Structure 1
Amino acid sequence: MNMSAWKRAGVALTATAVVVGVAGCQDGEGKASDAPKTQSLGDVTKVIQAAYQKTSEAKAAKVKMTMSMEGAGADSGTAEMTGVQGWDPSVMDITMKGSMLSAAGAGAGGEVPEQVRMIMLDNVMYMDMGAKQAAEMDGKRWMKLDLMAAADAAGDKALQKQMTGGLESMNQDPAQQLALLLDSPNLKHVGAEKVNGMETQHYKGTLTVEQMLKAGDSSKLLPKEDYDKLLASVKKAGLKGYDTEVWVNEDGYPARMDIGMTMAEGSMQMRADYSDYGTKAAVQAPPAKDTLDLFQMLKELGEGLKQG
């Protein structure tokens, strides 16, 4: 396989990972339809806590996600992802398409297929490059990206945390988003609404940058110096806040979740519609014979250049 084919493959996987990573920027089982027209903060908290518990226990669901970014230069555009997502363990098998995907590839100096299937399993991401790319990659159509292995090889603990954290953020599950919503100081009940033919109760809340990082345990997991740097970089990006809305159906599960972020250079909106909670997330890695390891490929290319 020639060097340009390797490069295009790497660009495609990296661009797709960036898009999915952005999609990622945790008592009681009363039915949402039984909720009164106006709920007190205590009632709202109980409903969201119950939804969190049920969602955590479901461990998986089918998802249709749409994301749009505006005013962010080359990253502006839309993306649509459909498939199955699991959060205990963390897995996903989704198909993605949209202008954001092609824009990311163009910005990286390459191109990606119009539609891409992605699998995440055991902290490893796989991307189906398609038949055209496979023809230039010795017939192997799946590109593998093991970020943990790359971080281990680099011997950089900070880099390792960043990479593995990035993998986790690619698969933000609805239970985590509900846990985050519970930390909002202005959590409130909006009212009853229909979503995808279902009766739901609509809730919303907003977090500041500091509240968001605290809720995500960043202040506890990172050394103070690293946390301060993270907070400074987020503020420098101009992140104004983190808005979350959830529509809880009659069975007590989130039927829809909206996430919104506004930054100095633009805004991001993400909507996820969930169904079939508890569905078996039978995600399997592609056969090894059809898979090309991007990290190993780059390692071998580097060694070849040194010898040359």
Structure 2
Amino acid sequence: MRTRHWSALLGAAAILTAATIGLGWGDRGPVEGAGPAAASPTLSTEHRGALLAASAVVRKAGSVRLSVADEAPWSSTGVFHWGQSRTAELVRKRDYDDEQVAMRVVDRAFYIGQSGEGWARVPLGADSGKEMDPVELGAAQIAVFWVIDPLFQLDVHGRLGSVVRQGDEKVDGALAVHYRSTVETFEFVEAIGDDLSLARQLGVRLALHRRGNTMAADFWIGPSGEVLKMAVGLPTQRDVSSEVRYSDYGRATAVQAPPPAEILNPNG
């Protein structure tokens, strides 16, 4: 393993992800079907109940695999696992040389690593010890793990969202009900709660506010009540939605922290 300073690794990996996993696709345009152009949408607080019902299904499943719409030669995949604590991983891989950047959230810590360079660890909670500037490069990447988490999004929009039923649509051959919802950005960040220290919450809020004072999410809920697809706006992008597809509910195992020997010393 090559040796790199902790801050240099965090910066390089964050820059690479900012140009890739939904953090810099600036000219791709909105995801098809993610806008408000559906025929005769209906707005009602009753539709919050549909999102909360889907949340219960996802929570019972306990885990899910995901893929993020990407451009060749890159592919982005990940895992969420909800148990006593939430663990997650998102990996972006370049097909022709296996170069990859991986991000993980395990035990109230965020990890970001680049192929052969080791891992930078950024504590998230109030007991984090080393606090960094709230506008650090890592804030947008940390925010991603709440934006693409289907369980968190369903919970927040089910409780607080202005939910519009867009209609019935097909997702990979399955009939799904399409809902679109918006929440205030500050409410979204507040819902994260104690999982982030105050400094981290500020950094995440600043990253998310680059898209405006409200956050939108589109949900396609399948016949079994599980979310098949979401369209969400990721940090640092304006007027662009990224499509995330979910599969293999209940089949993924918990994500582990990187081996201690691969974690770089922030004071080194």
- Structure 2: any 5+ residue segments left out of the alignment? 25-39
1:169 aligns with 2:143: yes
Residue by residue over 1:88-126, the C-alpha shift from the partner in whole angstroms, topping out at 9 and shown as x without a partner, is 33223443147xxxxxxxxxxxxx974334444332415
TM-score by length of 1: 0.59
- Structure 1 residue 181 displacement after superposition: 2.5
Distance, in Å, in 1 between the alignment partners of 2:232 and 2:168 is 19
Give the partner amino acid of 1:85: F
Residue by residue over 1:210-266, the C-alpha shift from the partner in whole angstroms, topping out at 9 and shown as x without a partner, is x231244279879x9x9999978976x462642211000010010000013798x84
Size of the aligned set, in residue pairs, is 241
8 Å CA contact 2:231–2:242 kept in 1: the answer is yes
8 Å CA contact 1:54–1:253 kept in 2: the answer is yes
For the residue of structure 1 that corresponds to 2:233, the secondary structure is strand
* Residue 57 of structure 1, aligned match among 47, 60, 81: 60
**RMSD across aligned positions (CA):** 4.7
Distance, in Å, in 1 between the alignment partners of 2:103 and 2:207 is 29
Q: 1 or 2, which has the higher helix percentage?
A: 1
* Residue 195 of structure 1, aligned match among 160, 167, 171: 171
Give the partner amino acid of 2:229: R
Distance, in Å, in 2 between the alignment partners of 1:266 and 1:194 is 27
- Structure 1 residue 79 displacement after superposition: 6.6
Distance, in Å, in 1 between the alignment partners of 2:82 and 2:231 is 18
Which moved further from structure 2: 194-203 or 51-60? Answer: 51-60
Which moved further from structure 2: 11-20 or 51-60? Answer: 11-20
1:121 aligns with 2:121: no
* Residue 92 of structure 1, aligned match among 88, 108, 132: 88
Q: Report the counterpart of residue 258 of structure 1 in structure 2.
A: 231
Residue by residue over 1:182-215, the C-alpha shift from the partner in whole angstroms, topping out at 9 and shown as x without a partner, is 3223x111111110121111111233xxx23124
Q: Report the counterpart of residue 241 of structure 2 in structure 1.
A: 269
8 Å CA contact 1:22–1:170 kept in 2: the answer is no
Distance, in Å, in 2 between the alignment partners of 1:54 and 1:239 is 31
8 Å CA contact 2:211–2:238 kept in 1: the answer is no
8 Å CA contact 1:206–1:244 kept in 2: the answer is yes
1:41 aligns with 2:44: yes
Distance, in Å, in 2 between the alignment partners of 1:93 and 1:11 is 19
8 Å CA contact 2:182–2:215 kept in 1: the answer is yes
Q: Report the counterpart of residue 27 of structure 1 in structure 2.
A: none
- Structure 1: any 5+ residue segments left out of the alignment? 24-36, 69-76, 99-111, 130-140, 301-308
1:144 aligns with 2:139: no
Higher relative contact order (CA 8 A, sep 6+): 2
Give the partner amino acid of 1:193: E
Distance, in Å, in 1 between the alignment partners of 2:139 and 2:204 is 13
